[in-house]
Amino acid sequence: MKEPIYLLEEEIIIVKQRGSKLKKESLFIKLMIVIVFITVLTGSIVGISAYQMAKKELVNSGKQDLKHLADTSTAVLNVLNAKVEKKEITLEDAKSEAREILSGPKLSGDQGYDFQKSKFLYKDKGYIVAYQSDYSTQIHPKNPIGQVPSSTENRKKMVGAAKASTAEDHFVSYPDQDDETGEAKDKMAYMTYFEPWDWSVGIAVFEDEFYKGLEYVKIFITVTVSVITLLSLVLFYFLIRKKVKLLSDVTAAALKISEGHLEETNLPESKDEVGLLGAAFNKMSSQLRGLMQGLQSTSIRLLDSASDLSAISEETSASSEEIGRAISEISAGTVTQASDLEGTNERLVSFTKSVDKMNTQSDFIEQMADDTETAAREGQSIVQKLKSSNEESLKASGQIRTGITNLNDKVQDISQITETIENISNETNLLALNASIEAARAGAHGSGFAVVASEVRKLAEQSKTAVSQIQNMINGIKQETENTVSLMSETMEHTSELDDAVKLTEQEFKKIAVSIEKTMTEIRALNKELQNIKGQNDQITESVQSAAGVSQETAAAVEEITASVDEQVLAITNVAQAAEALTELSNHLNQEIEKYKL
C-alpha cells in the first residue's frame, strides 16, 4: 500500500504561495489569451475583406441596373417622339405622358409624382430625372417642371455625363441630401442624351442603396466571430484542463522533492506524452526514495561500527575493513546513480529540442489552416450573395424581354393597319379615276362631279404617301425591337450560365470548408498537447539536474569516508582517535539524510 503525502504547516504555506504565482503565470491562461486574440484578429481581417469585396460587386451590379433602366427610359421617349412626328399627339402631351410613365402617377396639386409606383424605380429611392441643356427640370418626382436651381453644379455634371463618349463616363457622382433623414450622402446617376427633345435623361440613386443589405452581413460576421471565439475557448478548456491539472500535480510533487520530501508519488499515467511524463516522474521518485533508504541503512551501520570500534579496540582493524568495503559499495552505487541521472538529463535536453521544433512546425501549420478555413467560409458567403444578385438580374431581364416582345407585337398590329389604309387609298384613287372618266362623259353636267373626283384622288394620293411614311417608321421600330429582343436573349443566356457557375462554385466551397474544419480540429489538439509536453519536460529537467547534484555530493562524501577508513587501517595505533572521527562523520551523514522524509 502506497504511503500518503504529509506536509508541515510551514511547507503548506510555501507550496500555496508558489501555486498562486504559477496560477498568475499559468501557461493555460496565456494560451487562452492567445487563442482569443488569433480568433478575433483573423475573423476581423477576413470579415472586413469580404465586406469590401461584396460591397464592390454590389456597386458594379447596381451600376449595370441603372444603365438598363436609363436605356429603357430612352426607348420609351423614342416611342412617344414617334407619335409626335406622326402628329398623333402634341409634343407637350408626349412630354407629360413621359413624365407619368417614368416618374409614376401625378399627385394632386403641386406635390409632384408618386415615383414609388413607377415601373422605373430602382429599389426604394432610385428615380428617373431629366434636364435640358439650360439645366431646367424636365422630369423629377418632386422638383417643379422648368425650375432652374440657384446652384447648377450637380446638374452641369449630369448633363455633361449624358453626352460622354465612353460608357463609364456616363456615370456621375455628386453629394445630395436625403429628404427623409436630412443626412448628406453621396449619390450616383447614369445619364444618357435624348437629342430630339434636348433632354439629358438618367436615373439617380444614393450609393448606399447598392449595398443596403450588407449591414446584415456585417452583423452576421460580428456574431459569427464572437460565437467561434466562445466555442474555441470552451473546447480548449474541456480538452486541456485534465492535462493542466496533471502538470500542476507534477509541479507540486517536484516542489516537495526539492524541499526534502521523498514520499512516493502516484501521478496519473496514460499513453500520451503528458501521461508518460507522469509515469516517468513516478518512477524517478521511487528510485530516489530507494536510494535514500539505502543511504539511511548504510549510515546506521556506520554508526554501529564506530561504537564497536570505540568499545572494542581489538576489533578495530576488522571493523575498519568491513566499513571500507561497505562504503566502497555505497560509493560505486552513488557514482553509478549520478552517471545515470546525468545521462537522463542529456536525453531530456535532446527531447526538449525535438519538442520545440515540432511545436514550431505545428504553430505554422495551424496558422495556415486557420487562414484557409476563414477564407473558404467567407468565399462561400460571397458566392451566396452573388447567386442572389444574379437571380434578381435574371428575373429583371426576363421582364424587360417580355415587355419588348409585347411592344413588337403591337408594332406588327400597327403595320397591318397601315397596310389596310394603303389598300383603301388605292381603291379610293381608282374610284376617283373612274368618277373623272364618267364626269368627262357627262360633259357640262358632270363638271362639278369631276372637281369632287379630282379632290378625292388628291386626298387618296396624300393618304398613300402618309401611309408609306408611317410604314417606313414602323419598319425601323420593328428592326430596333427585334435587335433588342435578340440582345436580351443573349443576355439571359449568359446570366443563366453565370448562375450555374455560381452554384457549382458554392458546392465546392462547402466541400472545402468541411475538409478544413476537420483538419483544424486535429491540428489544434496536437498543438495543445505539444505545449503541455514542453512545459512539463522543462520542470522534469530541473528536477533531474537537482537530483544529479545531490548524488554527486553524496558520492564525494562517501569518498571522504573511504579515505578516512584507509588512514585508520594504516594507523592501527590511533584506533580510538579514528573511531571518534568516524563517529563524527557518521553523525554528519545522518543529519544530511534526515532532511529527506521517506
The alpha carbon of 515 is separated from its chain's Cα centroid by a whole number of angstroms, namely 16
Please check whether residue 502 is in contact with residue 383, taking contact to mean a CB–CB distance below 8 angstroms: yes
pTM of the model: 0.38
Residue 418 predicted with pLDDT over 50: yes
Q: Which three cell numbers stand for residue 321?
A: 575493513
Q: For residue 336, give Cα distances in angstroms to 291, 301, 551.
A: 11, 21, 9
Shared-domain flag, residues 251 and 399: no
Domain's final residue, options 234, 259, 284: 259
Residue 452 predicted with pLDDT over 50: yes
State the pLDDT at residue 136: 92
Strand (E) or helix (H) holding 379? helix 316-442
Q: Which three cell numbers stand for residue 578?
A: 579514528
88 is a domain residue: yes
For 376-391, the pLDDT digits (tens) are: 677 667 767 766 766 7
Beta bridge partners of 106: 113
Average pLDDT over residues 545-567: 67
Q: What is residue 306's three-state secondary structure?
A: helix
State the pLDDT at residue 313: 56
- DSSP per-residue letters across 99-119: HHHHH-SBPSTTS-B-GGG-T
The alpha carbon of 123 is separated from its chain's Cα centroid by a whole number of angstroms, namely 29
9 is a domain residue: yes
Residue 6 predicted with pLDDT over 60: no
Round to whole Å and give the CA distance between 338 and 558.
Answer: 13
Domain's final residue, options 496, 523, 550: 523
State the pLDDT at residue 356: 73
Shared-domain flag, residues 154 and 16: yes
Residue 186 predicted with pLDDT over 60: yes
568 is a domain residue: no
Strand (E) or helix (H) holding 494? helix 447-570
Round to whole Å and give the CA distance between 83 and 89.
Answer: 6
Higher pLDDT, 5 or 248: 248
State the pLDDT at residue 21: 45
Q: What is residue 222's three-state secondary structure?
A: helix
pLDDT band for position 340 (cuts 50, 70, 90): low
Determine phi and psi for 188, rounding to 5 degrees. -125, 140
State the pLDDT at residue 369: 66
Q: Which three cell numbers stand for residue 388?
A: 442572389
Round to whole Å and give the CA distance between 83 and 477.
Answer: 12
The region that residue 87 occupies, defined by phi over 0 for left and psi between -120 and 50 for alpha, beta otherwise, is: left
Q: Which three cell numbers stand for residue 572?
A: 592501527
State the pLDDT at residue 375: 66
Cα angle value 340/539/265 (rounded, 5°):
75
Residue 334 predicted with pLDDT over 80: no
Residue 23 predicted with pLDDT over 60: no
Q: Which residues contact 262 (CB under 8 A, 6 or more apart)?
A: 285, 288, 289, 292, 596, 597, 598
Residue 200 predicted with pLDDT over 90: yes
Round to whole Å and give the CA distance between 578 and 323.
Answer: 13
State the pLDDT at residue 477: 78
**Which residue, chain included where needed, has cell 500555496?**
16
The alpha carbon of 597 is separated from its chain's Cα centroid by a whole number of angstroms, namely 58
Residue 7 predicted with pLDDT over 50: no
pLDDT band for position 8 (cuts 50, 70, 90): very low
Please check whether residue 582 is in contact with residue 302, taking contact to mean a CB–CB distance below 8 angstroms: yes
Residue 316 predicted with pLDDT over 60: no
Q: Furthest-apart CA pair in the chain: how many Å?
A: 193
pLDDT band for position 5 (cuts 50, 70, 90): very low
Residue 190 predicted with pLDDT over 80: yes
Q: Which three cell numbers stand for residue 502?
A: 455560381
State the pLDDT at residue 22: 43
Shared-domain flag, residues 390 and 242: no
Please check whether residue 104 is in contact with residue 113, taking contact to mean a CB–CB distance below 8 angstroms: yes
State the pLDDT at residue 561: 67
Higher pLDDT, 309 or 64: 64
Average pLDDT over residues 443-450: 73
DSSP single-letter state for residue 596: S
Q: Which residues contact 177 (CB under 8 A, 6 or more apart)?
A: 183, 184, 185
Parent domain of 7? 1-259
CATH number at residue 102: 3.30.450.20
State the pLDDT at residue 575: 60
DSSP single-letter state for residue 572: G
Round to whole Å and give the CA distance between 45 and 27.
Answer: 27
Shared-domain flag, residues 393 and 246: no
Cα angle value 243/247/249 (rounded, 5°):
115
State the pLDDT at residue 243: 72
Strands 199-206 and 127-132: antiparallel
State the pLDDT at residue 259: 74
Residue 165 predicted with pLDDT over 70: yes
Shared-domain flag, residues 395 and 246: no
Q: CB 451: neighbour CB atoms within 10 A?
A: 12
Q: Which three cell numbers stand for residue 183?
A: 443626412
Q: Which residues contact 7 (CB under 8 A, 6 or more apart)?
A: 15, 256, 261
Question: Residue type for 30, please?
Answer: K
Residue 3 predicted with pLDDT over 50: no
206 is a domain residue: yes
Domain's final residue, options 523, 538, 566: 523
Number of structural domains, the chain? Answer: 2
Round to whole Å and give the CA distance between 372 and 381.
Answer: 14
530 is a domain residue: no
State the pLDDT at residue 90: 92
266 is a domain residue: no
Residue positions counted in the chain: 598
Q: Which residues contact 359 (CB under 8 A, 6 or more apart)?
A: 527, 530, 531, 534
143 is a domain residue: yes
Q: What does the H/E/C string look like for 381-450?
A: HHHHHHHHHHHHHHHHHHHHHHHHHHHHHHHHHHHHHHHHHHHHHHHHHHHHHHHHHHHHHHHHHHHHHH
Q: What is residue 194's three-state secondary structure?
A: strand
What 507-512 contacts at long range (C-beta under 8 Å, 24+ apart), as own/partner pairs, is 509/376, 509/379, 509/380, 509/383, 510/380, 512/376
Shared-domain flag, residues 186 and 40: yes
Round to whole Å and give the CA distance between 139 and 149.
Answer: 14
Beta bridge partners of 205: 188
175 is a domain residue: yes
CATH number at residue 437: 1.10.287.950
State the pLDDT at residue 202: 93
